[in-house]
Structure 1
Amino acid sequence: MVRFVFHNIFRQITRTFLTLAAIVLGVVSLIIVGGFVADIFVQLQENTIHSQLGHIQIYKQGYTTFGRKEPYHYVLEQPEAIAKELAGWHEVSEVMMRLNFTGLANNGRADFPIFGEGVEPDKEARLGTSLAIHAGRQLTDADGFGILLGQGVAKALNLNPGDYVTLLANTPEGALNSIEFQVIGIFQTFSKEYDERAVRIPLSAAQELMAATAVHSLVILLSDTADTDSALHRLGRWLPAETYEIKAWYELADFYRKTVDLYERQFGVLKIIILVMVLLSVGNSVNMAIYERTGEFGTLMALGRRSGDIIKIILLEYALLGLMGSVLGIIIGVVIAYIASGVGIPMPPPPNADMGYTASVRIVPSVILAAFLVGVLATIMAAVLPSRRAAKLQIVEALRSNI
């Protein structure tokens, strides 16, 4: 039967070619679009992690809910001991402390509201590989009273590297404190909203400004993003939930979650469209083929073939056709993905950002598998109804087609 099926597939070369073209186009489209969307997710994920959030952050319980209103009530006790323990974990690359504050930046002529972070500069430099220095240089531990300004802050106050700016903030006792800083650099991240208000100063300077010795968070950088969930689970077993709040980067990145949800839904709609496209294209080809082969099916039934045999022959033919088209589509799709990734796809800034990037098409096994299944199953589904109609033909009427 297999030889007979292959003979039937290649009996009409033109129709077979058109059917294969429809299957290949659908499979290639899914691979290219799926790989492109996957690259968007990965780039957005890594930029989010390596510009602001790290992989995991540890706070005192209640900080994310009430910390903005009462920041000094939600500081970590003995963060150095926790950081020392975490530094020995094999999956942990870096542990850094941060002190968050709000206040005003003054250039001598105007005030501008800011959100500040006291950071450990050298450690943050290793974390912030996606933090682009627009002007000047990166902050270092040697810059005792240096400051990094978000691009929006620098623009609002008309400040450049080498200029001086004064930060004003309230201490825990309610007093107003101020310190003058020299602008070391101006940074830009993937988030325009963050850049509009953010400044970074050394942790020691932030503690002096706030007249405090505490920190609000520990930021953990892992060696591999894939270890996030396992490290999160391990931390949850080690640190008591009633004392500490542990957040993974994807819990803190609201923009990332919404973007992923949007693109996943769009990709789901595209899968349905391609499935329908393949169904219609293959269905039309099957109907034409069965109409032309009515006499053949009548002869087979007259020779003793049953209705079920006719259905099996037709479904096997198009299952093999779907298999060939899907395999060919995967080969072509992977080649196109490699070429596109090698050249690079210039992309404009995404929403809430003003920094473009170069996209690629990733080879994602799950996407390739989904494309393969869509190609094969859509072809088989398109042949089901026509094969049933062929099996219900009256032998006498079908044989007349041979005359």
Structure 2
Amino acid sequence: MNLQLPKGLAFALRNVFRHRVRSAATLAAISMGVAGLILAGGFVQDIFIQLGEAVIHSQSGHIQIVRKGYREGRTRSPESYLIDQPEQLKQKLTDQPGVQLVLSRLGFTGMINNGKRDLGIIGEGVEPSAEAQVGTYMRYIEGRALADADSDGIVLGQGVAKSLGLKAGDRVNLVISLALGAVNTLDFEVVGVFQSFSKDFDARAVRIPLSAARNLMDNSSAHVMVVLLNRTADTDPVIASLRNKLDSDRFETASWRELSDFYDKTLQLYETQFGVLRFIILLMVLLSVANSVNMTLFERTREFGTMLALGDRPGKVFQLIMTESLLLGLLGAAVGMSLGCIAAWIISAIGIPMPPPPNANIGYTAFIRLVPLEVLTAGGIGFVATCLAAVMPARRVSRMQVVDALRQGA
């Protein structure tokens, strides 16, 4: 059984390959535009993913559970928002599908003293071994991370260490005020200086073992339960499930995006920039294709005049031109998607060294992430742009007077 293309489609396809130079120019414009959209979209997508992972694995974890009102009242009376018996809540959270790890943090504010001067700090008591699994984006520029055996160890943010001139091995004092006005102090040895994703965090942050924080604050509770998931993509369904299971009158549950205002603002900035870039590429494809189509149709005006003189209706001429453009758009989109994917794989294999984002400490290596929907969208934009670029020229040619069309180029 022989399969044959419809007559009009076969005729349009022959015309596409008959005008090789013009068709090649049009295909180049479409494919470069589509490839550019894929590369730009994949680059921005990688920024979103890496920025999110940096926030998760340097500070927040995927989900945090606190006592209701803690975030608003922690600076005034943190002792009013303690989670009693945190181990029971931890077990309940660990049993939730998709949860990899749950850890406790006990927050405090106070002063750190190096023997010469004081600095106000925001501190956390953490579980060292569990925190090491969460803080994979935390980089130690001096010394090391806390270990479970460090009963009197402390790690400092880079800004804290710089302000007080501290380094690994130095001794410091932490001074905090307790609920009833009493003052408590403990002596610590600096075991490491870290860089997290945020400069602001590093300028005030210190961390000590959870056992030392409980001793310093004279309680056995926690302020925050941090949940680390197996996959970041599971954040929304897991947090929805936890909100249904936990007493909303006692606990507040927040995702990493809700905890990071900086991430959402950066996301909006890059989405706006990419929207402008997408518009510019679309405009370039439209102008390039329109110019190529106009030149092609100008050279073929007598051909179309002959068709009209032989009795073909203007609608058929218009249909032929649009069919040719449709074929060019499909072929250009396919070539562009192939080129974009190949270029993305090559660039990702090499990597793109990037400086730290605004208000951040740590640079990173960017890649081009191929998201199927983004690739198809880029191809669709190239195809639609080609069809739109051909409408006006096709309309103009199909409505020419036969005599004017036959005279063209004579």
TM-score category of the 2 structures, normalised to the smaller one? over 0.9
Secondary structure at 1:362 match in 2: coil
Matches within 5 A, 1:191-206: 191-206=198-213
Question: Pick from 237, 250, 253: which aligns with 2:244?
Answer: 237
Secondary structure at 1:162 match in 2: coil
Question: Pick from 378, 392, 399: which aligns with 1:371?
Answer: 378
1:380 match? 387
How far off is 1:402 after superposition? 7.0
Secondary structure at 1:213 match in 2: coil
How far off is 1:240 after superposition? 2.1
Matches within 5 A, 1:248-267: 248-267=255-274
CA contact (8 A) 2:26 2:293 kept: no
**Residue 215, structure 1, aligned to residue 229, structure 2:** no
2:176 match? 169
**Residue 345, structure 1, aligned to residue 348, structure 2:** no
Secondary structure at 2:101 match in 1: strand
CA contact (8 A) 1:172 1:211 kept: no
2:308 match? 301
Question: Pick from 358, 361, 370: which aligns with 2:365?
Answer: 358
Question: Pick from 171, 177, 181: which aligns with 2:188?
Answer: 181
How far off is 1:83 after superposition? 0.7
How far off is 1:209 after superposition? 1.1
In the alignment, the residues of structure 2 paired with residue 71 and residue 366 of structure 1 have an alpha-carbon distance, to the nearest angstrom, of: 46
CA contact (8 A) 2:77 2:179 kept: no
Point out the more displaced range, 35-44 or 285-294: 285-294
CA contact (8 A) 1:120 1:202 kept: yes
Matches within 5 A, 1:74-93: 74-93=81-100
CA contact (8 A) 1:294 1:399 kept: yes
Question: Pick from 275, 281, 300: which aligns with 1:268?
Answer: 275
In the alignment, the residues of structure 2 paired with residue 296 and residue 18 of structure 1 have an alpha-carbon distance, to the nearest angstrom, of: 21
How far off is 1:397 after superposition? 2.5
1:43 match? 50
Secondary structure at 2:108 match in 1: strand
Point out the more displaced range, 70-79 or 344-353: 70-79
1:141 match? 148
Deviation by residue 1:129-180 (Cα, 9 ceiling, x = unmatched): 1111111111111111111111111111111111111001111112111100
Secondary structure at 2:325 match in 1: helix
TM-score of the superposition, structure 2-length normalised?
0.95
AA aligned opposite 1:294: T
In the alignment, the residues of structure 2 paired with residue 259 and residue 99 of structure 1 have an alpha-carbon distance, to the nearest angstrom, of: 29
Deviation by residue 1:101-132 (Cα, 9 ceiling, x = unmatched): 11111011111111100111111011111111
Deviation by residue 1:302-321 (Cα, 9 ceiling, x = unmatched): 33322221121111111111
2:397 match? 390
**Residue 153, structure 1, aligned to residue 160, structure 2:** yes
Identity across the alignment (%)? 51
CA contact (8 A) 1:280 1:382 kept: yes
In the alignment, the residues of structure 1 paired with residue 247 and residue 75 of structure 2 have an alpha-carbon distance, to the nearest angstrom, of: 23
Unpaired stretches in structure 1, ≥5 consecutive residues: none
AA aligned opposite 2:174: L
Unpaired stretches in structure 2, ≥5 consecutive residues: 1-7
Query: Number of paired residues?
Result: 403
**Residue 34, structure 1, aligned to residue 41, structure 2:** yes
In the alignment, the residues of structure 1 paired with residue 14 and residue 219 of structure 2 have an alpha-carbon distance, to the nearest angstrom, of: 83
**Residue 311, structure 1, aligned to residue 318, structure 2:** yes
1:97 match? 104
In the alignment, the residues of structure 1 paired with residue 326 and residue 163 of structure 2 have an alpha-carbon distance, to the nearest angstrom, of: 64
In the alignment, the residues of structure 1 paired with residue 79 and residue 119 of structure 2 have an alpha-carbon distance, to the nearest angstrom, of: 23
TM-score of the superposition, structure 1-length normalised?
0.97
Question: Pick from 109, 122, 125: which aligns with 2:132?
Answer: 125
In the alignment, the residues of structure 1 paired with residue 72 and residue 398 of structure 2 have an alpha-carbon distance, to the nearest angstrom, of: 66
